[in-house]
Amino acid sequence: MRLKDKVALITGGAAGIGKATAIRFAEEGAKVVICDVMEDAGKALLPSLGPAASFYKVDVSKRNEVQNWVDNVAEKYGRIDILVNNAGILRDGQLIKIQDGKLVKQMPEQDFDIVISVNLKGVFNCTQAVAPVMVKQGGGVILNASSIVGLDGNFGQTNYVATKAGVIGMTKVWARELGKFNIRVNAVAPGFTMTDIIKTMPEKVIEAMKSKTPLGRLGEPKDIANAYLFLASDEASFITGAVLRVDGGIVVGT
């Protein structure tokens, strides 16, 4: 019960890594509060998280929704011990595509903007709303979802990589700024993980991912959840400003 009675907020908690993290935290005694735009999935998860759990429908890219969520949680539970900034989206595409020397396609501006607004600004919104609560109570833990592509880059993901690299940068800044308030800030960088998005890909693509991973398999959402659990626990009390790769040893190539 490493998180006994800790109040843990998890964004994008209705599915994938966020869902696995919510379940894992509840197993370790946390009072789990999840938010997501997928209301039905979020509410359906609550029975698995215990009687103290709550779900809120929140778009993390919208600051007013985030602030209302945080204010409600702080009033209901009296404190916020852990924030996991997990919510994120994909809109993959090449910067430009050239055929026969001519530009035939490029990443739409709106695809760049929406990924930035959720994956980067959403992390900013949630952290800025939660940090004053943690300062007032004397400490807390903030965990940010980055990705190995934020460290290595990846073909066809200009927007996504920009956000995940940006999250690493913000993590290091906040570790410095908030450390004096006993707030630890770390990032987790998952590799290829068997989420619902991956499961919809062709089998040959999945096998190619496995073949490039030294451990010979894809990650499971619980693998990432366990990393979040460690960093959220007192076992990681002297770790801040770190980026933990949970990737089976892969280095993303070209």
pLDDT in tens, 54-77: 999 999 999 999 999 999 999 999
Residue 145: name the closest of 111, 185, 194 by CA. 185
pLDDT band at 253 (very low <50, low <70, confident <90, very high): low
Q: Is 56 a catalytic residue?
A: no
Instruction: Output the pLDDT for position 42.
Output: 97
User: pLDDT over 90 for what percent of the chain?
Assistant: 89
254: pLDDT strictly greater than 80? no
Domain boundaries of the chain, sorted by first residue: 7-246
- Say what the pLDDT of residue 208 is: 85
Any idea what DSSP says for residue 157? B
Out of 1.10.760.10, 3.40.50.720, 3.40.50.300, 1.25.40.10, select the CATH number for domain 7-246: 3.40.50.720
218: DSSP letter: P
Q: Annotated catalytic residue: which of 56, 77, 160, 228?
A: 160
- pLDDT tens-place string over residues 161-203: 999 999 999 999 999 999 999 999 999 999 989 887 788 888 8
Q: How far apart are CA 158 and CA 252, in angstroms?
A: 14
